[in-house]
Amino acid sequence: MADTGSTFDEMLARSDQPRPPYESYFQWFANEDLKDLRRKSREAEAFFRRIGITFNVYGQDEADERLIPFDIVPRIISAREWATLERGIEQRVRAINAFLHDIYHRQEILRAGRIPKEIISKNTAFLPEMIGVNPPGGVYTHIVGTDLVRTGENEFFVLEDNARTPSGVSYMLENRETMLQMFPELFSQLKVRPVSAYPQLLRRSLADCAPEGLTDRPTVAVLTPGIHNSAYFEHAFLADQMGAELVESHDLVVENGRVAMRTTQGYHPIDVLYRRVDDDYLDPLTFNPDSLLGVPGIMDVYRAGNITIANAPGTGIADDKALYSYMPDIVEFYTGERAILQNVPTWRCSEADSLAYVLDHLSDLVVKEVHGSGGYGMLVGPAASKKEIAAFEKKLRARPSNYIAQPTLALSTVPILSKAGLAPRHVDLRPFVLVSPNKVEITPGGLTRVALKKGSLVVNSSQGGGTKDTWVLGD
Amino acid sequence: MMLGKTAGGLFWMFRYIERAENTARLLEAGWRIALTRSDGESNEWQSVVNTAGIDAAYSAKFDSFDSGSVINFLLRDRDNPSSVLSSIEAARSNARMVRTALSSEVWEAVNECWMEVKSALARPVSERTLHELLAAIRYRTSVVRGALHGTMLRNDIFAFSRLGTFLERADNTARILDVKYYVLLPSAAFVGSRIDNVQWEVILRSVSAERSYRWLNGGETTPMGIAEFLILDKRMPRSLAFCYSKIGENLNWLANDYGTRHESHTLADRICGQLNGTTVNTIFEEGLHEFLTASINDTSTLASLIQTDFRFYQ
C-alpha cells in the first residue's frame, strides 16, 4: 500500500545479514523452532489477559476490554544509537520546558518574532489562566513521551512531543516482564539495559517537584477518570508500582487551601497530583463547567503553590501540531544549539503557498488535524481512495488552518513473528522522559508500536497496532 | 492511609465473592434434594428462590419454579443482581477499582475466577453439568480467599475485606434459617418424619455443614441442635456467633489502628454480647423468627454504619 520500496529494515537493512545490534538475536532465532515460538506467543497473550493488561474500547459494552497485540520479536537499539537519541530528546525536552515558562511569562520568543503571535493567542491549548503562574520546581512537563520514527541508518525524526499525558509506559514495563519470563536465556546473552526502575524513578521525580516547605514525605496521588477509561489499567498499574494512591475526582475536595482526598480516617492533603485527565476536565470552576471529572477549586490551590500538578495545565501548547513545525526554532532559541533530532518537514495549511502545494499533492502526503490524536481524523494520501481524498479536500478547503501536512515517511520496519516466520512491519518508538528540577532522565527503551497489517503505516493501538519490547544494548 | 472508596471497594468485592459462593452452595443443596425426591420437586426449587431472597425478581420473569429456570436465574441471569455471574462481575469490577490495594495474587485470582465463570456461564446450564460447574465456582472463590490469606498484609485492607465476607455470611446464614424456621419449630417437628429430615438436610447442606454437624452431634439431628449449631456454635465458620466474633475482631483492629471508635463498634459489641449471652432455649422461647428478623436487620444496619463511619462514599 504505502510502501515506497526504499524501506529501512532495522534487523536486515537491505541485505540477508543482520545489522550489528541484531547479530546475536538473529543467530538465536535461526536455531529456534517456529512452532515453539508461536506457542510462546500464545502463552504471552494468556499471560496478559490474566494479569489484566487490557485497554477499554469506548461504546462496546460486552467486549469492552481488549488486549493490545504483543509481538515477541524485540526491537533492538545499539548503545551508540541510543546515546544520540538521549542527547536529542533531553535537548528537546529542556527547550520545551523553557518555552512553556516563557510563553506563560514574558513571551520573549513572540517579541523576537520567532513564532507568530496568532499561533499562540488563537490556540485553545494555550491557557490564559496559566499566565504568571510558577509551577513548583519550575517544571511544566514532568513526564514526556517523545514519538520518534526512523527512516535510515542515521535518520531519526521526532513525530510528536506528547507533552500532556503520554500513555503506554505500562506496556513498556509489562512487555519486558513478559520477555524476561519467556526468554531468560536471551537476557543472559545480550546486555539489555533494564527498564524496571521506571516507577521508582517516576515517584522520586514527582516527589522532587513537590511544593517547597514540606516537612513530611510528599503524598503523591494518581488522578484517573475511572475504571471505564481506556488507560485505566495503566493508571492503576503506575499508582500500584509507585506506592501512590489512585484517586478519582469524587475522592477529592479543596479544603483549607489544600487539595485533600477522602480516606477512611477523614481528609488527607495531597502534595503531588499525577493527573491522567485532560486540562479541560481538571477544574470545572476554571475550565469546562460541565466536567464531572474535575476538582472544583484545584486551580486556586495550584496558583497558590500548594499542589504540584503533573503535567502542568497548559503544557498542551507545546505539543500542538500547529506549533510543531516551529520546534527547530524553539530548540535553537532556548538552547542556543541546533536541534539534534530532526523535525519531519511540515506544511502549514494556514499559509496560502503551503495550502496550494498540499492540495496539489494530497495523494502523496499525510494530512493531520492540528488538535487530533490517536490516528483519527487524518489522511494518509498514498493509502486513501480517490473518494476519501475528495472528501478530505473539502474539509481542508473549509478550514485550512486546522491542518498540517507532512510527506509520507518510509518508516523503518522491524520483523514480527508471522505464520511464515519473520515478516517486516513498520514501527515507531516512544521513549519515556522524566523531568525534575535538576534532572532529565530517559529510561533506556520505550514503547515500540508496530503496524501489524502488512504495509500499513498506522501504529495506533486503537487502529490495529501492536507493541514490541524495546531493547537498548549496554556498551 | 486508605481511601474511603478503596475501603468500600474491598468490602463489596468480598461481599460479592461470598455471595457467589453462597448461591452456589444453595443451588447444590436444592439440586441434591430435588434429585433424591420423586415427587413435588418444584416446591423445593421455590424454596431455593425464597432463600436466595430474590422472589420478586424471579416472579417478574417466570410463572413456575421448574429446575431449569431456577438454576439459570440463580447462576447467570443479569436480571438477577445476586446471580453468580452478576456477583462475580461485581466482585471483579470492585477489584479493578481497588487494584492498588490488592496483591497481584489476589487480583489474578479474582480476574481468573471472572474469566472462567463468565465463559462457563456464557450458555444456559443443564442439570447434567450443574454439579461440575458449582464445584468450579466454589474452587475459584476459594482460590481468591486463599490468596487473600497467603499474600496480603494484615492491615486495614485485610480488615475491610474480612468485614465484607462476614457481614455477607452472617446475612446469608440468618436468611437460610429464617426461610426454613418453621421446620425447626417444635410444633411443626414431627420428629423422624421424612419431610422434615429432608428440610433439615437442606439447611445443613446450604451452609456445607451436614458432615461437621454429624461429627459433632453423633448423628442425632434435631431442630434445636441445628439452630444452636448455626446460630451459637463458634466452631462452625458459618454460624452467626462465629461471623460476629470475626466482625468484632476486625472492627476492633480498626479501632486500635485508627485510634477511633465509631457507632459501628458499639452496635457490633452489642450484637456479640447478645450472641454470647443467650442460649438456644431462650431463642426458641422468645421466638426464632423474631430473633432471626432482628439479626438480619442488625446486620444490615451495621453494614450501613460501617459505610458511613469509614467514608466509603462521602
pLDDT tens, A233-251?
999 999 999 999 999 999 9
Q: Is B244 on the interface with A (CB under 8 A)?
A: no
Contacting residues for B296 by C-beta, under 8 A, at least 6 apart: B171, B174, B175, B178
pLDDT at A62 over 80: no
* CA–CA gap between residue A377 and residue A344 (Å, rounded): 19
Query: Is B112 close to A50, i.e. CB distance below 8 A?
Result: yes
Q: What is the pLDDT of residue B35?
A: 77
Q: What is the pLDDT of residue A372?
A: 62
Q: Which residues of A touch B311 (CB under 8 A)?
A: 262-264, 266
8 Å CB contact between B254 and B301: no
> With a cut of 0.90, is the ipTM above it?
no
What's CA A29's distance to the chain center, in Å? 31
8 Å CB contact between B89 and B114: yes
Side chain identity at residue A211, one-letter code:
P
User: CB atoms < 10 A from the CB of A336, how many?
Assistant: 7
Q: What is the pLDDT of residue A4?
A: 47
Percent of all residues in chain A with a pLDDT value above 70, rounded to a whole number: 95
8 Å CB contact between B63 and B89: no
Query: Which one has a higher pLDDT value, A472 or A464?
Result: A472
Q: What is the mean pLDDT of residues A199-216?
A: 94
Q: Nearest CA to B168 among B5, B25, B312?
A: B25
Q: Is A155 on the interface with B (CB under 8 A)?
A: no
Q: With the C-alpha atoms ordered B220, B224, B226, B231, is the resulting torsion angle positive or negative? A: negative
* CA–CA gap between residue B183 and residue B190 (Å, rounded): 9
Indicate the pLDDT class of residue B40, thresholds 50, 70 and 90: low
Burial A156-182, CB ≥16 within 10 A → b, else e: bbbbbbbbbbbbbbbbbbbbbbbbeeb
Q: Which residues of A touch B96 (CB under 8 A)?
A: 52, 227, 232, 236
* CA–CA gap between residue A434 and residue A171 (Å, rounded): 17
Query: Cα dist. A18→A3, A82, A455, B84 in Å?
Result: 21, 18, 21, 55
Q: What is the pLDDT of residue A59?
A: 43
Q: Which residues of B touch A50 (CB under 8 A)?
A: 108, 111-112, 115
Contacting residues for B50 by C-beta, under 8 A, at least 6 apart: B179
Grid coordinates given for A51: 494479569
In Å, the largest CA–CA distance within chain A is 68
pLDDT at B188 over 60: no
Indicate the pLDDT class of residue A68, thresholds 50, 70 and 90: confident
Q: Is B155 on the interface with A (CB under 8 A)?
A: no
Q: Is A261 on the interface with B (CB under 8 A)?
A: yes
The per-residue pLDDT for range B152-174, each reduced to its tens digit, is 999 999 999 999 999 999 999 99
Q: What is the pLDDT of residue A61?
A: 46
Q: What is the mean pLDDT of residues A114-128?
A: 90
Q: Which residues of A touch B112 (CB under 8 A)?
A: 50
8 Å CB contact between B296 and B175: yes
Q: What is the mean pLDDT of residues B181-186?
A: 74
Percent of all residues in chain B with a pLDDT value above 70, rounded to a whole number: 94
pLDDT at B220 over 80: no
Of the residues B13, B93, B100, the best mutation for testing chain A's interface (the one with the most A CB atoms within 10 Å of its CB) is B100
Q: Is B35 on the interface with A (CB under 8 A)?
A: no
- The pLDDT mean for chain A works out to 91
DSSP codes, B228-269: HHHHT-TTSTTSHHHHHHHHHHHHHHHHHHHT---HHHHHHH
The per-residue pLDDT for range A316-351, each reduced to its tens digit, is 999 888 899 999 999 999 999 999 999 999 999 989
* CA–CA gap between residue A402 and residue B109 (Å, rounded): 49
Q: What is the pLDDT of residue A363?
A: 92
Q: Is A438 on the interface with B (CB under 8 A)?
A: no
Q: What is the pLDDT of residue A328?
A: 96
Contacting residues for A296 by C-beta, under 8 A, at least 6 apart: A254, A283, A284, A285
Query: Is A264 close to B3, i.e. CB distance below 8 A?
Result: yes
Indicate the pLDDT class of residue B297, thresholds 50, 70 and 90: very high
pLDDT at B222 over 70: yes
Query: Is A245 close to B3, i.e. CB distance below 8 A?
Result: yes
The DSSP bridge pattern shows strands A245-247 and A220-223 to be parallel
Query: Is A264 close to B4, i.e. CB distance below 8 A?
Result: yes
8 Å CB contact between A247 and B101: no
Among A143-147, A190-194, B127-131, B195-199, the least confident range = B195-199
Among A163-177, A276-290, B2-16, B57-71, the least confident range = A276-290
pLDDT at A58 over 70: no
Q: Is A5 on the interface with B (CB under 8 A)?
A: no
The per-residue pLDDT for range A408-461, each reduced to its tens digit, is 899 999 999 998 899 999 999 999 999 999 899 999 999 999 999 998 888 887
The per-residue pLDDT for range B43-75, each reduced to its tens digit, is 778 888 988 888 899 999 999 998 899 999 999
CA distance A51 to chain B (A): 6
* CA–CA gap between residue B136 and residue B75 (Å, rounded): 13
Q: pTM score, two decimals?
A: 0.88
Query: Is B99 close to A262, i.e. CB distance below 8 A?
Result: no
pLDDT at A27 over 50: yes
* CA–CA gap between residue B19 and residue A102 (Å, rounded): 59
The per-residue pLDDT for range B87-112, each reduced to its tens digit, is 999 999 999 999 999 999 999 999 99
Helix (H, G, I), strand (E, B) or coil at A464: coil
The per-residue pLDDT for range A371-391, each reduced to its tens digit, is 765 566 789 888 889 999 999
| DSSP symbol at A120 | H
